[in-house]
Structure 1
Amino acid sequence: MQWLKNRKESPFSGEVECELDTIGKDSWVNHGYCASPLTIPRAVSTVYNPQTIYPPGSFDHMCKPAPLNPYPAEVKPPDTSTKKKRGGCCSFFKGLWSTTMTKNTADNRELFIKTTLRELLVYMVFLVDLCLLTYGMTSSNAYYYTTAMTDLFVNTPSPSGVQFQSIGCMDDFWTFAQGPLLDGLYWSKWYNNQSLNNGDQSFIYYENLLLGVPRIRQVKVLNNSCTVAKDFRNEISGCYDVYYDKKEDDSNFGLVNGTAWQYHTDKEMNGSSYWGLLATYNGGGYYQDLSKSKDQSTAALNELMNNLWLDRGTRAVFIDFSTYNANINLFCVITLLVEFPATGGAIPSYQIRTVKLIRYISTWDYFIMGCESVFCLFVLYYIVEESLELRIHGFSYFSSIWNTLDVVVILLALIAIIFNVFRTIKVDKLLEKLLEQPDIYADFGFLAFWQTQYNNMNAVNLFFAWIKIFKYISFNKTMTQLSSTLARCAKDIMGFAVMFFIVFFAYAQLGYLLFGTQVQSFSTFVKCIFTQFRIILGDFNFDAIDQANRILGPIYFVTYVFFVFFVLLNMFLAIINDTYSEVKKELSSQKDDLQITDIIKKSYVNTFLKLKLKKEKISDVQKALESGSKELEFKDFRNTLKELGHDDHEITKGFSKFDQDGNHILDQEEQEIMRKELEKKRDDLSAEMNHLGNNIGNGMDEKSAVTLDEPEKPSFTLVEQADFQRLVRKVLQLENTVAAIITKIDTVMKNLMLQKSDMPNTEAMGNNETPVEENVLVHLERETKAKIAPWKSSPTPGTGWPIPNRHM
Structure 2
Amino acid sequence: MPADYSALWLHIIYVTLCCSVFIMQPLVVVIYTLYKVCMYRWLGCRGCISTCVTVPLDQVVAIWNRYQSVLSRSGSITNENSNEYLLQDRQRNRDLRYAHPPSEDYLLKCREKEVRFRGVSQLCTSTLGHFLFLTLLLVIASKANVVERFRLNKAVTDTMLNGACLDKDRFLDPCIDTESFEVCNQNLDPTYMPFKNISNKDEWWTWANSELLALTYNDDDTYSAFSVFCDTNSVIIGKPRIRKYDVYSEECAAAKFKVEENTSFADVLKVKTCYPDYIDVSNLLGFRSSMNKEDEWDSHFLAVYHGLFSQYSYTKDKINLPSSRYSAILMLLLLKANNWIDNSTRAVVTEYTLYHPTFKLYTDISLLVEFPSVSGAKATEHIWSTDVERYRGGWAYVCIFAEMMLLAIAMYYFYNTVIYLYSCQGRIWHSFWGILDFLMTVFSWSYVVCLMLRVQIAEDIMWQLRVAYFRTFVNLKSLVTWDMILEAHMGVMLAIHLLRCLSLMKYVPRLRRLGLILARATKDVLIVT
Q: Tell me the TM-score range normalised by the shorter chain.
A: 0.5 to 0.7
Deviation of residue 391 (structure 1)? 5.4
Give runs of aligned pairs for residues 518-529 of structure 1, distance below 5 A.
none
What is the alpha-carbon distance in structure 2 between the residues aligned to residue 603 and residue 187 of structure 1? 69
Deviation of residue 136 (structure 1)? 3.0
Residue 128 (structure 2) aligns with: 121
What is the alpha-carbon distance in structure 2 between the residues aligned to residue 325 and residue 431 of structure 1? 15
Deviation of residue 448 (structure 1)? 0.7
CA distance 1:282–1:309, change in 2 (3 Å): same
Deviation of residue 335 (structure 1)? 0.9
Deviation of residue 282 (structure 1)? 3.2
CA contact (8 A) 1:133 1:372 kept: yes
Which of 519, 525, 528 is the matching residue for 1:691?
525
Which of 459, 484, 488 is the matching residue for 2:491?
459
What is the alpha-carbon distance in structure 2 between the residues aligned to residue 325 and residue 63 of structure 1? 66
Residue 218 in structure 1 maps to residue 244 in structure 2: yes
Query: Per-residue CA shift, 1:635-668, capped at 9, x if unaligned?
Result: xxxxxxxxxxxxxxxxxxxxxxxxxxxxxxxxxx
CA distance 1:431–1:293, change in 2 (3 Å): farther
Residue 232 (structure 1) aligns with: none
Query: Per-residue CA shift, 1:550-606, capped at 9, x if unaligned?
Result: xxxxxxxxxxxxxxxxxxxxxxxxxxxxxxxxxxxxxxxxxxxx522324556899x
Partner amino acid, structure 2, of 1:472: L
Which of 307, 311, 335 is the matching residue for 2:338?
307
CA contact (8 A) 1:330 1:354 kept: yes
Residue 361 (structure 1) aligns with: 392
CA distance 1:247–1:410, change in 2 (3 Å): closer
CA distance 1:344–1:395, change in 2 (3 Å): closer
CA distance 1:332–1:283, change in 2 (3 Å): farther
Deviation of residue 293 (structure 1)? 3.7
Deviation of residue 166 (structure 1)? 0.8
Residue 472 (structure 2) aligns with: 440
CA distance 1:162–1:321, change in 2 (3 Å): same
Residue 318 (structure 1) aligns with: 349
CA contact (8 A) 2:420 2:434 kept: no
Give runs of aligned pairs for residues 210-289 of structure 1, distance below 5 A.
210-221=236-247, 244=273, 270-273=297-300, 274=302, 275-276=305-306, 278-279=308-309, 281-282=311-312, 284-285=314-315, 286-289=317-320
Query: Per-residue CA shift, 1:30-52, capped at 9, x if unaligned?
Result: xxxxxxxxxxxxxxxxxxxxxxx
CA contact (8 A) 1:223 1:313 kept: no
CA distance 1:110–1:443, change in 2 (3 Å): same
Deviation of residue 197 (structure 1)? 7.7
Give runs of aligned pairs for residues 419-430 of structure 1, distance below 5 A.
419-430=450-461
CA distance 1:222–1:60, change in 2 (3 Å): closer
Residue 595 in structure 1 maps to residue 429 in structure 2: no
Deviation of residue 390 (structure 1)? 4.8
CA distance 1:378–1:295, change in 2 (3 Å): farther
CA distance 1:131–1:186, change in 2 (3 Å): same
Residue 331 (structure 1) aligns with: 362
Residue 208 in structure 1 maps to residue 234 in structure 2: yes
What is the alpha-carbon distance in structure 1 between the residues aligned to residue 141 and residue 250 of structure 2? 51
Question: For 1:464, what is the secondary structure of its paired residue?
Answer: helix
CA distance 1:396–1:175, change in 2 (3 Å): closer
Deviation of residue 444 (structure 1)? 0.6
What is the alpha-carbon distance in structure 1 between the residues aligned to residue 325 and residue 375 of structure 2? 31
Deviation of residue 382 (structure 1)? 3.4
Give runs of aligned pairs for residues 640-651 of structure 1, distance below 5 A.
none
What is the alpha-carbon distance in structure 2 between the residues aligned to residue 271 and residue 224 of structure 1? 18
Partner amino acid, structure 1, of 2:194: Q
Residue 142 (structure 1) aligns with: 149
Residue 402 in structure 1 maps to residue 433 in structure 2: yes
List gaps (5 residues or longer) in structure 2: 1-38, 54-110, 171-188, 252-271, 278-290
CA contact (8 A) 1:153 1:184 kept: yes
What is the alpha-carbon distance in structure 2 between the residues aligned to residue 224 and residue 410 of structure 1? 41
Deviation of residue 356 (structure 1)? 2.3
Partner amino acid, structure 2, of 1:282: Y
CA distance 1:351–1:602, change in 2 (3 Å): same
Q: Once superposed, what is the RMSD of the aligned Cα atoms?
A: 4.1
What is the alpha-carbon distance in structure 2 between the residues aligned to residue 298 and residue 315 of structure 1? 23
Deviation of residue 363 (structure 1)? 2.6
CA contact (8 A) 1:355 1:452 kept: no
Deviation of residue 418 (structure 1)? 2.1
CA distance 1:420–1:204, change in 2 (3 Å): farther
What percentage of aligned pairs have identical amino acids? Answer: 19
TM-score, scaled to structure 1:
0.41
Residue 183 in structure 1 maps to residue 209 in structure 2: no
What is the alpha-carbon distance in structure 2 between the residues aligned to residue 387 and residue 284 of structure 1? 44
CA contact (8 A) 1:340 1:347 kept: yes
Query: Per-residue CA shift, 1:368-406, capped at 9, x if unaligned?
Result: 333333333333343344445555665466511211111
Deviation of residue 333 (structure 1)? 0.9
Question: For 1:212, what is the secondary structure of its paired residue?
Answer: coil
Query: Per-residue CA shift, 1:473-530, capped at 9, x if unaligned?
Result: 2344xxxxxxxxxxxxxxxxxxxxxxxxxxxxxxxxxxxxxxxxxxxxxxxxxxxxxx
What is the alpha-carbon distance in structure 1 between the residues aligned to residue 384 and residue 229 of structure 2? 18
Question: For 1:473, what is the secondary structure of its paired residue?
Answer: helix
Structure scoring higher RCO (CA < 8 A, sep ≥ 6) equals 2
CA contact (8 A) 2:366 2:383 kept: yes
Query: Per-residue CA shift, 1:597-631, capped at 9, x if unaligned?
Result: 324556899xx8xxxxxxxxxxxxxxxxxxxxxxx
CA distance 1:423–1:168, change in 2 (3 Å): same
Residue 474 (structure 1) aligns with: 506
Question: For 1:315, what is the secondary structure of its paired residue?
Answer: strand
Question: For 2:237, what is the secondary structure of its paired residue?
Answer: strand
CA contact (8 A) 2:464 2:474 kept: no
Deviation of residue 128 (structure 1)? 1.2
Give runs of aligned pairs for residues 82-93 of structure 1, distance below 5 A.
none
CA distance 1:406–1:247, change in 2 (3 Å): closer
What is the alpha-carbon distance in structure 2 between the residues aligned to residue 470 and residue 60 of structure 1? 34
What is the alpha-carbon distance in structure 1 between the residues aligned to residue 125 and residue 405 of structure 2? 18
CA distance 1:111–1:224, change in 2 (3 Å): closer
CA distance 1:397–1:221, change in 2 (3 Å): closer
Partner amino acid, structure 2, of 1:205: D
Give runs of aligned pairs for residues 486-501 of structure 1, distance below 5 A.
none
Residue 722 (structure 1) aligns with: none
Give the helix-richer structure, 1 or 2.
2
Question: For 1:474, what is the secondary structure of its paired residue?
Answer: helix
CA contact (8 A) 1:271 1:283 kept: no
CA distance 1:269–1:440, change in 2 (3 Å): farther
Question: For 1:195, what is the secondary structure of its paired residue?
Answer: helix
Deviation of residue 469 (structure 1)? 0.8
Residue 700 (structure 1) aligns with: none
Q: Which of the two has higher C-alpha Rg?
A: 1
What is the alpha-carbon distance in structure 2 between the residues aligned to residue 146 and residue 424 of structure 1? 23
CA contact (8 A) 1:357 1:424 kept: no
What is the alpha-carbon distance in structure 2 between the residues aligned to residue 465 and residue 213 of structure 1? 45
Query: Per-residue CA shift, 1:223-274, capped at 9, x if unaligned?
Result: 999xxxxxxxxxxxxxxxxx945799xxxxxxxxxxxxxxx96665653411
Give runs of aligned pairs for residues 334-733 of structure 1, distance below 5 A.
334-390=365-421, 395=426, 398-438=429-469, 439-476=471-508, 595-599=510-514, 690-691=524-525
What is the alpha-carbon distance in structure 1 between the residues aligned to residue 335 and residue 237 of structure 2? 23
Partner amino acid, structure 2, of 1:218: K
Between the two proteins, the alignment pairs up a number of residues equal to 373
CA contact (8 A) 1:113 1:475 kept: no
